[in-house]
Structure 1
């Protein structure tokens, strides 16, 4: 047995790293953490807008006991998840959590998690992303960082496109090369993420060049990017105009980091000061910064790629919360209560026949008022219809494609809705972590956390979360935290979005 005071040291391709134990080595629930291990050189100077470059090897044992620098600078305030920022330039890092450091013969399944934040924010240093609970269940867990916003995804003539996507690929290549040293099996890697991270793993699922890097996918509230080339060029030119620089690599490189972040927000915003301003653009065009169809790394939209059968053999679980963005509309309910719900939906671009069918399928939500209905509509357009489209597309491409769908229906006692991010601490089974009570209340249901987390762990280990797979005739959906008088697995579980699909 390893002495409790002995820090774990693991040798990987570039050199040895020293982590730290949580709990007594060998005792139930004990695991080791290795934080801030670089998978690429710092993206600064000449490397700022380059594809990731492998780090230089090191000779001494490198301490890996603190989170590495993050691409996020300051607290963005746009997510409900505590995602700390860490200053520094070396922002391309991985964090590894393992119950068996150094045991290369253990061959445990591996979970790689990609954080969300709308592709402009977020951090892998969140206490919610600690892999302790997955370690307890025999799963080695990795979280990774990537370049954000314009630095990661903006169109720059003369620079590699989709630099943030290339960061994901480089981190996954690092996992493939090094994870065995931490007790993981590189042939049993499940990628997962929430929100933009959920969109990231779906993007990777649809990329032929990424198929060798993972064998299964879990997407929580996936927000697909698929930024068109035309939109990417327009946003880039708009940003250059705001900065009064040439729309070139040299022009953008002349901008200080904080100035570029400020201008990327203005360039991507459609806010005109009206209630819910910019929502229509967001619904119609998606997020401004994110994976771009560049004709090189990504040659077509994710749905088109999945429809062509890419990744069809890989097990996929995907789902969303019932009211991801209702809290946004709820903040405007004082103004929205004077607007008839049908008129409001019309202003959001929903034509009369679809509006009628959609309202009929959502009678319970409609009874809660215009704000609640608009919040459900935004949720459906941005997240829940994506679940159905991806599931249908995979089924059409390959009837045997292993796909499972779910809904997270537990309502936050502090916010009143099954809001965006609420499912994450249940999925990680980290209800005691900092910040959880703000979104899940002082006594979040442990049985629900056990159900969600156990399904995730089973999927990573065995490729099956434990409920009936999706099929075009049944459209089975596992409902977590719903009405206890209704079966946990229901048919046509996303029927309320059919008018929008």
Structure 2
């Protein structure tokens, strides 16, 4: 029999994935953010009569595709349309009376791509293991994050908060405990969580957080965001107002906003792009400041990164072999390090590395690893991990790159969407260990190793042979003290 659950908007009919797991897909948590609602804060979803089918994924935010070669490496599938503020739930079946831990997934994609309705984020494994899992869609790109003087900032974050409020109000119907919510995300999803921690309205909506390859360091100050708004308006030949942006057809707007990242890469001048000149993300949370969370923030953390994050952006494009020493030195200095002092430290561990490989190491630390450690240092009792399994894809050079941990976290090594990045012979025991740690943290707050502290800096290394290390690559970490 098809499972039926009752939410505050109305009843929904799901489907059985297995005898033990039910899925409820495409449930609206807010009204469609287009038409008169364009560029405004999310409005409540309208109620419905009868039983609504929740049998297939809802649509996600319209967006331009990833540029080649990333379009074949990073999953970004799923239908797209305007009624995009919806969520998907996988829960144990039959649903208990409540009390199960809840995990809410916020997808990545540089705040411009990605979808909570991608098959790669199927939550069956979490429900199988006793967790109510929720994936959400939120506004991206200009609709979610472009600064408009007559509209609220951070509409994508407001969508995420609205989804979390829906979870608070409705998740008991699916067996979940609204007091036991773990929010987790990767890349822009993790950066979103870092920004949510600074939003008073989000306080109390989640008890735990898992930040994968992103933390609380990436945002745009209002002056920088205005530069990007002005440039996008110039490209489109319009005034920089909400009304004029709304009048631009999506088939013009989406390619134009996607082109901005290429323009930043071609001319990474802070005078033109502000903070985005370093991370090449024109759409980010707009904030006056963003600091790591306070010790008394009321949230428990599991944070980490992948050992060779930036190889995703260097190996498929073949930039890793041609990046010049001058670019390496300029980037190192732009990140705040003295190239003459820092680069010999990185090179000592990698004596045969070409400049592109050292660029990966330095940029991985600046972009991902050090921000994660700052969260752990700020909140006592936090847990730290590093994903180190090197993918055999691209002749083994892709390494432990950005997003390569996702298939292991979701225990979906057989999903075709992950195959180009995983390569042959993915390690099921590693998936068992990593997925199991995420589930254990959501259930108990303890993923299975010692917390991080300033003395030992205990770090769980997820590799083909998992281990625990104290202060991995501590000499490189120490370079960033007082810098980032």
Q: Decide: shared fold, TM above 0.5.
A: yes
Q: Aligned equivalents of 1:43 and 1:274: distance in 2?
A: 33
Deviation at 1:201, TM superposition (A): 1.6
Q: Aligned equivalents of 1:63 and 1:327: distance in 2?
A: 39
Residue 322 of structure 2 is aligned to residue 317 of structure 1: no
What secondary structure does 1:421 align onto?
coil
What secondary structure does 2:24 align onto?
strand
Matches within 5 A, 1:311-460: 311=297, 313-330=298-315, 331-336=318-323, 339-340=324-325, 343-350=326-333, 353=338, 355-394=340-379, 401-415=380-394, 416=397, 417-460=399-442
Describe the shift of the 1:70–1:366 C-alpha distance in structure 2 as closer, same or farther (beyond 3 A): farther
Deviation at 1:314, TM superposition (A): 1.6
- State whether residues 326 and 378 of structure 1, in contact with CA within 8 Å, keep that contact through their aligned partners in structure 2: no
- State whether residues 24 and 89 of structure 2, in contact with CA within 8 Å, keep that contact through their aligned partners in structure 1: yes
Residues 271-307 of structure 1: per-residue CA shift (max 9 Å, x gap):
57599xx9997573562211111xxxxx63143xx24
Residues 12-63 of structure 1: per-residue CA shift (max 9 Å, x gap):
1000000100122xxxxx2000000000111110101111111111012100
Matches within 5 A, 1:260-299: 260-271=253-264, 284=278, 287-293=281-287
Describe the shift of the 1:176–1:260 C-alpha distance in structure 2 as closer, same or farther (beyond 3 A): same
Q: Aligned equivalents of 2:273 and 2:391: distance in 1?
A: 24
Q: Aligned equivalents of 1:116 and 1:64: distance in 2?
A: 24
Residues 138-194 of structure 1: per-residue CA shift (max 9 Å, x gap):
100000000000100011121111100000000000000000000000000000001
Q: Aligned equivalents of 1:272 and 1:167: distance in 2?
A: 29
The correspondence for 1:159, drawn from 151, 157, 168, is 151
Q: Aligned equivalents of 1:174 and 1:360: distance in 2?
A: 49
Q: Aligned equivalents of 1:380 and 1:387: distance in 2?
A: 9
Aligned to 1:57: 47
For structure 1, the residue ranges without an aligned partner over 5 or more in a row are: 1-5, 25-29, 294-298, 395-400
Deviation at 1:136, TM superposition (A): 1.4
The correspondence for 2:16, drawn from 5, 21, 33, is 21
Matches within 5 A, 1:47-86: 47-73=37-63, 75-77=65-67, 78=70, 80-86=73-79
Residues 337-363 of structure 1: per-residue CA shift (max 9 Å, x gap):
xx44xx443221427745423432452
Describe the shift of the 1:42–1:274 C-alpha distance in structure 2 as closer, same or farther (beyond 3 A): closer
The correspondence for 2:243, drawn from 243, 250, 257, is 250
Residue 283 of structure 2 is aligned to residue 300 of structure 1: no
Residue 474 of structure 2 is aligned to residue 499 of structure 1: no
What secondary structure does 1:90 align onto?
coil
Describe the shift of the 1:157–1:281 C-alpha distance in structure 2 as closer, same or farther (beyond 3 A): closer
Q: Aligned equivalents of 1:14 and 1:335: distance in 2?
A: 56
What secondary structure does 1:435 align onto?
helix
* Aligned residue pairs, count: 468
What secondary structure does 2:160 align onto?
helix
Q: Aligned equivalents of 1:93 and 1:314: distance in 2?
A: 25
- State whether residues 414 and 438 of structure 1, in contact with CA within 8 Å, keep that contact through their aligned partners in structure 2: yes
Q: Aligned equivalents of 1:447 and 1:151: distance in 2?
A: 41
Describe the shift of the 1:366–1:203 C-alpha distance in structure 2 as closer, same or farther (beyond 3 A): farther
For structure 2, the residue ranges without an aligned partner over 5 or more in a row are: none
Q: Aligned equivalents of 2:337 and 2:441: distance in 1?
A: 41
Q: Aligned equivalents of 1:491 and 1:207: distance in 2?
A: 33
| TM-score of the two chains, using structure 1 as the length reference | 0.88
Describe the shift of the 1:366–1:13 C-alpha distance in structure 2 as closer, same or farther (beyond 3 A): farther
- State whether residues 98 and 176 of structure 2, in contact with CA within 8 Å, keep that contact through their aligned partners in structure 1: yes
- State whether residues 404 and 468 of structure 1, in contact with CA within 8 Å, keep that contact through their aligned partners in structure 2: yes
68-77 or 110-119: bigger deviation:
68-77
